[in-house]
Chains A and B, each alone.
Chain A
Amino acid sequence: MPVFPAEFADLEPFAPWALRTEAERYAMRLSASMDELQAFYDAAFPRLEAILAYLDQFELPELPDDARHLLWLVYSLVNASFPVEVWRQPRVPDSGAASLDAVVEPAV
């Protein structure tokens, strides 16, 4: 059962990144290896424009399920961009003891 719209079938291998909450996405990022983060980034980043053009056809609150999964995948890409573009490691350097939890986030 595909998670994303048919036009984005190439991203199906990264379906586990389509996570609803920031906490889940951040946990996924911390548990991933740099190779996994890089592979996800390399696959999703070049598709960003096409994804947003597709999603922008809908009113945000009325996104169909498959489109919403795609939006969650983009949120994960945003999160994963930090290890890939900046840190070269999954965690913010020197942030070992620090945590910052999202306690309110938008419904969509």
Chain B
Amino acid sequence: MAHFAKPAEGSWTEHYPELGTGPVSYEDSISPEYYELERKAIFARTWLNVGRVEDLPRPGSYFTKELQAAGTSVVVVRGMDGEIRSFHNICRHRGNKLVWNDYPRQETAGVCRQFTCKYHGWRYDLQGACTFVQQESEFFHLDKADYGLVPVQCEVWEGFVFVNLDPNNTLSLEEYLGDLAAGLVGYPFGAMTQVFKYRATVGSNWKLFIDAFAEFYHAPVLHARQAVADESRKLQAVGYEALAYRIDGPHGMVSSWGGMAPPKDLDMVKPIERKLRSGLFGPWDRPAVEGLDHLPPGVNPARSPVWGVDSFVFFPNFMLLVWAPGWYLTYHYWPTSYNTHVFEGTLHFVPPRNATERVRQELAAVTFKEYALQDGNTLEATQMMLESRAVTAFPLNDQEILLRHLHKTARDCVERYQNDPSAPPFSVRVPAAS
């Protein structure tokens, strides 16, 4: 019943033998103690995507990012020299949070020429240097040069801004993201500046929501009613098979077919989709921007004519979905405890030229929300029952390979940290299996 070719080993999972094929435990998702280890082993030491260059449009633009899992807040700012930098969001004088508005736990953004602490008025320029100390002569041998903001490693890949909180990190962002990201270089992310962003507090471990979006085995069942009845029956009878999976070091991707944009037969889709020529896969008509005609090699790696969407899981908590009709979606999963996290889903389109194009994007955004609400609610149900420990080993099929890989990667990171807290989270980059 295989519709798409699998590797010579007979399955995607066995193509990556380190993953094994046995049942897996989700103890890593239901233990407060394990979560505390993950915070130190993973979130305090890996590259985390905190935004896009478009969020920092001009010199002085800044935003703050709450990184509860890593136990800090950072400020990310474009300096007067145009460079993007990041600092721990803390004043060097008495430890007050430097940049915030009204509510100290809420993120903020804006434009400024310098940072001024609300408490005693210490000032810092946008490169982090301390430039003013209130009543400086009252201090004892204080040299402002010793009291700059604490820098955080910050690098940009294809317009995505990342930070790494480990001052000893020696792996560049490009090296860290590896071959899967290299295969995306040149995609016109920068042209897709029309943004719809959604946020939810989810009652599950962060990995469980990545699990939900890293497999489509669930789609014909959980989302059955979102297709018209005949189509839904067909989808469920056929089941789901991906075009391809790729794993490279801590990261993975799944490439999926998508016959719905546009569908072969208009009766396959709902009336609103038929009328607006849009839906889950986005507006059917590709926008006219450079770079969509010849996609970079990492997109649709199987070069399938029925390709619909590629979902990249960049460890630990960043997913990037590139859709055939020419737009992209990001997911971020920000842990807040072992069984809660904040989910962010952000749709990026080429700005619409008229109302029709704008309404097509609205349908894609609303459809995303309808699907995500279905996905989100199963998570709390799963978390609850996993915590019962009534069952402790669970089978995963070949279409769930990325789950197996995600949990293994997280466990490997924790194990390496337990063995030697000063060792880097990824001792050697695992070369890509071809």
Q: Determine whether the beta carbon of A75 is less than 8 Å from that of B376.
A: no
Q: Which residue of B lies closest to A105 (CB)?
A: B196
Contact pick for B359, options A45, A71, A96, CB 8 Å: A71
Q: Which residue of A lies closest to B194 (CB)?
A: A106
Q: In chain B, residues 206-228, which have Cβ atoms closer than 8 Å to a Cβ of chain A?
A: 225-226
Please name all residues of chain A whose beta carbon is closer than 8 Å to the beta carbon of B377 when the two chains form the complex: 94-98
Q: Determine whether the beta carbon of B373 is less than 8 Å from that of A95.
A: yes
Please name all residues of chain B whose beta carbon is closer than 8 Å to the beta carbon of A52 when the two chains form the complex: 355-356, 359
Please name all residues of chain A whose beta carbon is closer than 8 Å to the beta carbon of B374 when the two chains form the complex: 92-95
B: contact size bracket: 35 or more
The answer, yes or no, to whether B174 is at the interface (CB within 8 Å) is: no
Please name all residues of chain A whose beta carbon is closer than 8 Å to the beta carbon of B343 when the two chains form the complex: 100
With A79-B366, A92-B373 already in contact, the answer to whether A108 and B358 are too (CB < 8 A) is yes
Could you give, for residues 54-98 of chain A, a 1 whenever the CB lies within 8 Å of some chain B CB and a 0 otherwise? 011011100100000001001101110110011100001111111
Q: Which residue of A lies closest to B197 (CB)?
A: A104
Q: Determine whether the beta carbon of A102 is less than 8 Å from that of B362.
A: no
Q: In chain B, residues 169-207, which have Cβ atoms closer than 8 Å to a Cβ of chain A?
A: 194-203
Complex Cα distance A75/B366, Å? Answer: 9
Complex Cα distance A82/B370, Å? Answer: 8
Q: Determine whether the beta carbon of B362 is less than 8 Å from that of A75.
A: yes
Complex Cα distance A63/B271, Å? Answer: 27
Please name all residues of chain B whose beta carbon is closer than 8 Å to the beta carbon of A104 when the two chains form the complex: 195-197, 346
Could you give, for residues 380-401 of chain B, a 1 whenever the CB lies within 8 Å of some chain A CB and a 0 otherwise? 1000000000000000000000
Q: In chain B, residues 269-312, which have Cβ atoms closer than 8 Å to a Cβ of chain A?
A: 270-272, 275-276
Q: In chain B, residues 336-388, which have Cβ atoms closer than 8 Å to a Cβ of chain A?
A: 343-346, 352-356, 358-359, 361-363, 365-366, 369-370, 372-374, 376-378, 380
Q: Which residue of B lies closest to A52 (CB)?
A: B356
Please name all residues of chain A whose beta carbon is closer than 8 Å to the beta carbon of B196 when the two chains form the complex: 102, 104-106
Complex Cα distance A105/B361, Å? Answer: 11
Please name all residues of chain A whose beta carbon is closer than 8 Å to the beta carbon of B373 when the two chains form the complex: 92, 95, 98-100
Complex Cα distance A27/B370, Å? Answer: 14
Q: Which residue of B lies closest to A87 (CB)?
A: B225
Q: Determine whether the beta carbon of B376 is less than 8 Å from that of A95.
A: yes
Q: Which residue of B lies closest to A75 (CB)?
A: B362
Contact pick for B370, options A92, A97, A102, CB 8 Å: A92
Q: Determine whether the beta carbon of A74 is less than 8 Å from that of B198.
A: no
Contact pick for B380, options A45, A97, A108, CB 8 Å: A97
The answer, yes or no, to whether A101 is at the interface (CB within 8 Å) is: yes
Q: Determine whether the beta carbon of B275 is less than 8 Å from that of A55.
A: no
Query: Distance in Å from the Cβ of A60 to the closest Cβ of chain B?
Result: 6
Q: Which residue of B lies closest to A96 (CB)?
A: B377
Complex Cα distance A59/B354, Å? Answer: 6
Contact pick for A100, options B199, B356, B378, CB 8 Å: B199
Query: Distance in Å from the Cβ of A5 to the closest Cβ of chain B?
Result: 13
Query: Distance in Å from the Cβ of B363 to the closest Cβ of chain A?
Result: 5
Q: Which residue of B lies closest to A56 (CB)?
A: B354
Q: Determine whether the beta carbon of B358 is less than 8 Å from that of A106.
A: yes
Complex Cα distance A98/B199, Å? Answer: 11
Q: Determine whether the beta carbon of B198 is less than 8 Å from that of A85.
A: no
Contact pick for A102, options B194, B197, B203, CB 8 Å: B197
> Which of B196, B201, B203, B373 has the most CB atoms of chain A within a 10 A radius of its CB?
B373
Q: Determine whether the beta carbon of A100 is less than 8 Å from that of B355.
A: no
Q: Determine whether the beta carbon of A85 is less than 8 Å from that of B362.
A: no
Please name all residues of chain B whose beta carbon is closer than 8 Å to the beta carbon of A103 when the two chains form the complex: 197-199, 344
Please name all residues of chain A whose beta carbon is closer than 8 Å to the beta carbon of B358 when the two chains form the complex: 60, 71, 106, 108
Q: Determine whether the beta carbon of B203 is less than 8 Å from that of A56.
A: no
Please name all residues of chain B whose beta carbon is closer than 8 Å to the beta carbon of A59 when the two chains form the complex: 354
Q: Determine whether the beta carbon of B200 is less than 8 Å from that of A55.
A: no
Q: Determine whether the beta carbon of A55 is less than 8 Å from that of B376.
A: no
Query: Distance in Å from the Cβ of A63 to the closest Cβ of chain B?
Result: 8
Please name all residues of chain A whose beta carbon is closer than 8 Å to the beta carbon of B366 when the two chains form the complex: 22, 78-79, 82
Query: Distance in Å from the Cβ of A47 to the closest Cβ of chain B?
Result: 11
Query: Distance in Å from the Cβ of A22 to the closest Cβ of chain B?
Result: 8
Contact pick for A60, options B195, B344, B352, CB 8 Å: B352
The answer, yes or no, to whether A49 is at the interface (CB within 8 Å) is: yes
With A56-B356, A108-B358 already in contact, the answer to whether A99 and B200 are too (CB < 8 A) is yes
Could you give, for residues 17-53 of chain A, a 1 whenever the CB lies within 8 Å of some chain B CB and a 0 otherwise? 0000010000000000000000000000100110010
**Complex A-B: 13 CB contacts under 8 Å:** A22-B366, A55-B356, A75-B359, A81-B272, A87-B225, A94-B377, A97-B377, A98-B373, A99-B200, A101-B198, A101-B200, A103-B198, A108-B358
> 12 other contacts beyond A86-B225, A92-B374, with CB at 8 A cut-off?
A71-B359, A74-B355, A75-B359, A93-B225, A95-B373, A95-B377, A97-B203, A98-B376, A99-B373, A100-B200, A102-B369, A106-B195
The 9 closest A-B pairs by CB, nearest first: A55-B355, A104-B197, A98-B377, A98-B376, A81-B272, A95-B373, A92-B373, A100-B200, A56-B354
